[in-house]
Amino acid sequence: MQNFCYLCASNNVNIVSVMIEIIPAIDIIEGKCVRLSKGDYDQKKVYNENPVEVAKEFQDAGIKRLHLVDLDGAKAKHIVNYKVLEAIASATDLTIDFGGGLKSDDDLRIAFECGAKMITGGSIAVKDPSTFLGWIENFGAERIILGADAKDGKIAVTGWTETSDDDLIPFISGYVSKGISKVICTDISKDGMLAGASTELYKEILKAEPNLFLIASGGVSCMQDILDLENAKVPAVITGKAIYEGRITLSDISKLLR
C-alpha cells in the first residue's frame, strides 16, 4: 500500500469526531488487494499483493470493521478466496463482513468457519430469494447483510455484470419487512471513480426506511464526502480507493475515531 499523506487539504475540511462508522474495503482478485472502476473487471488496479498486511494497517489505525469482497467468487458464483478471509481473521481482531459469490449454505458455512462475523448477499437475494430468506432464518438476521447494488435505479447482480428489473428502494423495503436490518448500497456509477458519494440517493432510502442501518458505498473521494454522509444521518460508509490513493489517510481516520 502506498503512503497515506493527503486529506482533502484544498477543501479546508476540519477533522472532527463523527458518529458515522467508517469501514474500509479490501477487494480480492487472485489473492491480491485490488480496486475496480464502476465494477469493471477490465479496469483493475492492484494496490497490494498481501491483503493481510493491509488489514493490519487498518487495525493499527484503530479501525474495528472490514468489508472484504471476493471478486473472483462474484464471477465464479461460489466462494473462492476463503483462505484470504481466514488469514485476515487469524492475524487481526477486525470484525469482517464477507461477500462475493455466496450462493449456498455451504458457502456461508465456509465463510463463517474462516472468520467472517457477517456475510453480504446481493445476487442471491435477487435470483434465489428463498435461499436468502433461509439464511436469515437459519443464521440470524444480525449476521446477514443485504447487498443492494444499484445501476440507474435498478438492482445489479453477478459482480455487477447484469442489471435486474428490481427497483432499488422497493427491493430494500421488501427485505426489511422480512427481517433485514443492515444494507450495503453501492451506486455502481460512482464506485471507484472518486467523484463523491450518492448522498441524495441514501437520503431517499432512509426516508423510506428510517430505522435501516444503511451502509453507503461507492464514490467517496475525501473526508468531506464522509462528513456529508454524516450530516445526512447515514449510519456507516465503506471507503476503499480513496484510502489506497492517499486521498483519505489512516492517520486522519484514526483522529476521527478518537
Three-state DSSP string of 52-94: HHHHHHHHHCCCCEEEEEEHHHHHHCCCCCHHHHHHHHHHCCC
Active-site residue among 149, 166, 187, 191? Answer: 149
Could you confirm whether 97 is annotated as catalytic?
no
Strands 65-70 and 95-99: parallel
φ, ψ of residue 137 to 5 degrees: the values are -70, -45
Q: Which residues 6+ apart lie within 8 Å of 64 measured at CB?
A: 93, 94, 95
In whole angstroms, give the CA distance from residue 73 to residue 69: 8
Could you confirm whether 149 is annotated as catalytic?
yes
What are the catalytic residues?
Answer: 27, 149
